[in-house]
Amino acid sequence: MSSTPGFSKGRLLVVAFEGWNDAGEAASGAVNTLKEQLEVLPILEIEPEDYFDYQFNRPSVALDENGRRELIWPSVTMFGPVVPEAGSVYLLTGTEPSRGWKTFSAEIIDAIESHGIGGVVFLGAMLADVPHTRPISTFISTENDALRAEFSLERSSYEGPVGILSVLADAAERVGIPTVSIWASVPHYVHNAPSPKATLALIDKLEEITDLVIPRGDLLDEAQAWETGIDALASDDDDMSSYIEQLEQARDTVDSPEASGEAIAEEFERYLRRGGDGKTDGTAGDEPWKP
């Protein structure tokens, strides 16, 4: 529904990276859902040798369908529609690169321009003090003046360390490609488990600000099963149940945070200033997610 030239009326790229930008695998899960539901194929494989420190992002070994061992290297792949046309969705996903971010960004921008992509949506997820029993909070921001005016979005006031999403967004805006960032808040007390409920929240918000109609597949059932599973764990742990109840009370005192965005924005900036580790009172996990 965007009237901003190049955004959502034309070709749109949706981006998510595994790692610090991806608490609960929510953002990468959203792009993988799109990959499964849309007719896309790989159109660009980034050379991993140029951008990965293999002591930090190690390759793994697995058995192929014939039982042979094969190495799987960290990678970043761009996917495009089988039949490109106006309104087509492109995807970029993989492991966050560990070096060469300026060169990496230039390579991605070249690919965006060569495929006539007119807008980019970045998906991320952060650990936060939120209950799993309430709707997942999302925070949307953009540095693009036209998109802020059109969708009543905010500009992030955060100052500090950033991840590859911010670097790519800056590179895109500098060449005139409008961008939007959507972040979901994942309950920090279940940080080790994938969060399909947060994935669903990202997809819902993506659909809301674009012309996309996105099939959900099994995501609704998976989100319900995720919540039910945590309920079962909490029922056997009095401390966990009490803590969740405190989070529920805190959330319920906020007047429509998912509508106003102000409370989410504040939580987002607190998260970034903590270094993205989700730690607040010693109960959070030790996974170092960063934007």
Q: Summarize pLDDT for 77-100 with one digit per residue, the tens.
A: 999 999 888 778 999 999 999 999
Q: What is the pLDDT of residue 87?
A: 77
Question: In whole angstroms, how far apart are CA 56 and each of 59, 191, 215?
Answer: 10, 21, 35
Neighbour count for residue 232 (Cβ, 10 Å): 9
Q: Does the pLDDT of residue 290 top 80, yes or no?
A: no
Q: Summarize pLDDT for 130-170 with one digit per residue, the tens.
A: 899 898 989 999 998 888 888 888 888 878 888 999 999 99
- Residue 221's DSSP bridge partners are none
Return d(Cα 168, Cα 120) in angstroms, integer. Answer: 10
Q: What is the pLDDT of residue 41?
A: 95
Q: What is the pLDDT of residue 256?
A: 47
Q: What is the pLDDT of residue 13?
A: 96
What phi and psi, each to the nearest 5 degrees, are found at residue 12?
-125, 135
Is the overall model pTM greater than 0.85, yes or no?
no
Return d(Cα 285, Cα 54) in angstroms, integer. Answer: 25
Q: Summarize pLDDT for 211-254 with one digit per residue, the tens.
A: 778 888 788 999 999 999 999 988 888 888 888 888 888 888 76
Domain boundaries, the chain: 11-273
CATH class of this structure's domain 11-273? alpha beta
Where does 19-155 show beta strands of DSSP type E? 40-45, 60-63, 69-72, 76-81, 89-95, 117-128, 138-141
Return d(Cα 148, Cα 28) in angstroms, integer. Answer: 25
What six digits make up the tokens of 239? 């401390």
* CA dihedral (181, 36, 196, 64) positive or negative: negative
Return d(Cα 192, Cα 285) in angstroms, integer. Answer: 8
**What is the residue-averaged pLDDT of the chain?**
84
- DSSP letter at 137? P
What phi and psi, each to the nearest 5 degrees, are found at residue 279?
-85, 135
Compute the radius of gyration of the chain from its Cα atoms.
Answer: 19
